[in-house]
Structure 1
Amino acid sequence: MADADGSAQSAVWPLPKFYFQVKWDDKELAFQEVSGLETETQEIEYRHGNSPVFSTIKMPGIAKQGRVTMKKGVFKSDNSFWDWYSQIKLNTIKRIPVTISLLDESGAPTMVWKLKNAWPAKISGTDLKSDGNEAAIETIEIVHEGITIENS
C-alpha cells in the first residue's frame, strides 16, 4: 500500500494482536492468550395475529456475555487463579474489573476492553506429559456482567 509517489507514509495497517496487557483490579498479569471477547443479543421473534405478512419480525432481546478465557504459564508459588477461585462461597465472590488493552509499538493502549464485575467460573490446570517439552500452561475462564470498548 504505497502512495502515488511510492511512499508508505499514509498507509493504514491493522494492529498486530501479540502485544497486549491485562489488568485485574489494580495488578497487571502476563498472559499468553486471551479469547472470548464477545457479546451477543438474543433475538425475539414476534408476529401478531392479523399481520398481513406471513412471517415473524425479529426484535432485540436480552444481551448475553460470553466467557473470557485467559491462558498463562505456571510459575513456582503463583496461586493467583486458585486464591481468587477459592473465594467463591454462596454468591460472596469478589467481583473485580478486568481491563484488556491492545498496545501499539510504543506500549500505549490503542483499543481497550473493560469487563464489569468479573469473577472466575472455571480453572484448568496444566496437562502433564513425561515426553513433552512445552511450558506448563494454566487456563482461567471468567464471567462478567458487561463489556465496553474504548478506542484511543
Structure 2
Amino acid sequence: MADDGSQQSSSVWPMPKFYFQVKWDSTVMSFEEVSGLDIEAQPIEYRHGDSPVYSTIKMPGLKKFSNITMKKGVFKADNKFWDWFNQIKMNTIKRVPVIISLLDESGKPTMVWTLANAWPTKITGTDLKAQGNEVAVETIEIAHEGLTIANS
C-alpha cells in the first residue's frame, strides 16, 4: 500500500519563515519583514617570521553583528519608531532587548533570536505614489551589541 504521508515526522520539513513575532522590551509589534540576523567572526591574518610556509594563517577575531532591518505597515497615530528615535540626545538612547521568534503552527516559539541593547540607527518612511496600489511601509534599522540564538 502507498504511503499517504499521515505518519510523517514533523522534523522532516524545515520551518516556514512567514509566522514570526517581534517583541521590543515588553511590547509585541507586528512586522512584515525582518532581515539582517547575521553574525560573523572577522578573520585575523598572521604569519610569524621564521615560518617555512610563505603564506599567512587565518584565526578567528572579533565577532561582528549586522544591523537588523524591520519593515511594517504605516498605521494612523502609530509613531513608535519616531518616538524611540527622537529619544537620542547627546550620544544617549534608551537601549532595549528585542526578541524575534520563529513560531510553529500552534504559535509557540521554535527558534528565538535575542538582540542585546538594541537602538534605532535609521528610519525610512514610505514612498508616496499618486497612482500606486500598495500598502504604505516604513523601515527601521536597529543596531545592537550582541545576538544570541536559542531553539525550543
TM-score (norm 2): 0.95
Please name the residue that 1:128 is paired with: 128
* RMSD over aligned Cα atoms: 1.2
Offset at residue 36 of structure 1 (A): 0.3
Structure 1's unaligned 5+ residue stretches are none
Please name the residue that 2:100 is paired with: 100
> How many pairs were matched up?
149
* 3-state secondary structure, aligned to 1:34: strand
Offset at residue 89 of structure 1 (A): 1.1
CA distance in structure 2 between the aligned counterparts of 1:5 and 1:99, rounded to whole angstroms: 43
Offset at residue 7 of structure 1 (A): 4.4
Aligned pair 1:66/2:66, yes or no?
A: yes
Within 5 Å, which residues of 2 pair with 1:40-119?
40-119=40-119
* Percent of aligned pairs with the same amino acid: 70
Letter in 2 for 1:148: T
Task: Encode CA deviations 1:10-55: one digit per residue, 9 max, x unaligned.
Answer: 3410000000000000000000000000011111000001001111
Please name the residue that 1:36 is paired with: 36
Letter in 2 for 1:99: I
Please name the residue that 2:14 is paired with: 14
Letter in 2 for 1:86: N
* 3-state secondary structure, aligned to 1:81: helix
CA distance in structure 1 between the aligned counterparts of 2:75 and 2:60, rounded to whole angstroms: 45
